[in-house]
Structure 1
């Protein structure tokens, strides 16, 4: 059996929705999967903005690990695998490259087993990272609200407003999610938690029904200012964009800057010389698997 798996990038948090809100983006990794007689062969034909040499080509490759995990869960096994990975999602930039790899592996495992994706697919994918916002966006497409209860992950998919035009400013700097999480305090003031709860609720309303609310709706007090020392230029760009009335935030763990616009462009007065600026559509389909 041969498969072609296409999985979208994602941006998470969207300002106040830390580990809760995610949005799928029209930038895709593609994995070609071929079942063979025995053994494992992984070809990494590109690695987004990272180097191909940084990506393992053995059983530790994320797609392989997720595919094996899904197959084990479904009680299915394959004699051997040949994977060809075409990676367009930049690595270590806050655009969900790891979650996309995991989702593509889980989706491939389900397809090989002849099973439709179900709630357990999200569970399997989210367990790799410990939160479901990126994984749910790549799996389901659109805007997602993710949660976890007693170790069980869930997500609700919503259709974002049709006028939404995300713009990404991607720096050359790479960032580690583990490292930036290490900058977060164990405790935050009650007032900050209440502030973010209100803004996260407002963000859902703004993203789905009223983009005019996005500037206020993307305010955050829980995580971005704590992480700012890890990528000062990105933090500077967020401040400058917001001063110009643009709903900007750090994408995921950074350092990419997300601007939620209705125009698909950034103000000329903002300095983006150290960033690659790209307008991307929202992906509405999520992961797609073609057999044959």
Structure 2
């Protein structure tokens, strides 16, 4: 395990800060930080911000002191770095702008729901299921729609906002709670808020449809006739068809998010997830997604599955 720490040099909030990173394993980085009492709130996508008073203790615990330039080079050369362009499109302001674009002019209630959702996606225990994944899935949906994939973009986009809004690491239950949250947050807006584009008022049917689409992400097995379900499922799984480096970062993020799970148990559980995905009759349902991601996804899943074998 190699953990890198640059000198305190970044002023903010009345002190100066160091960056704690790993260029090989987010899991080891998070495990080390937690063992040293560095809270999850200090994690910022690919590094921890730690105040100057913690510097000596972290070095004594095993972090390797390096210059700021060396730390930046090592992180940039790894698959774990989150580039600035990804940070910007996953920022709170950028996401809130995307939420607002789904709605017509209205009161503050719609914006309050958006702020609630963004704050959920920014919860400190998340590593993969974070605001980056939300931005990625919305981008993937836009690509599918641009490629001519059928289905309701509005319902699919709104479902993606909710699909991991509750994420406690309980497969199945997380999706059920996220779907229930649709009714809690959007239900009171029915008859008042208006959907962008059509200008039509939000209806109870819209709320029910969004909740249904959230549940599609439980098994990623929408019915052949479910075009909107295919949009949601395909956008959620788009990362599987990423380039090898981006996929490696995704796999590292998943491992870190389940850092409390011992290695043997994680390998078994993760292998079961990969086998379930590989066993789907069709990983992607829309022709647009198949064309864009299916071949790369197959290679990525086989590579990760082989790496999980003891």
TM-score (norm 2): 0.28
User: Normalization by structure 1: what TM-score?
Assistant: 0.29
Q: Which has the larger radius of gyration?
A: 2
Higher fraction of strand: 1
Larger proportion of helix: 2
Q: Which has the higher contact order (CA 8 A, sep 6+)?
A: 1
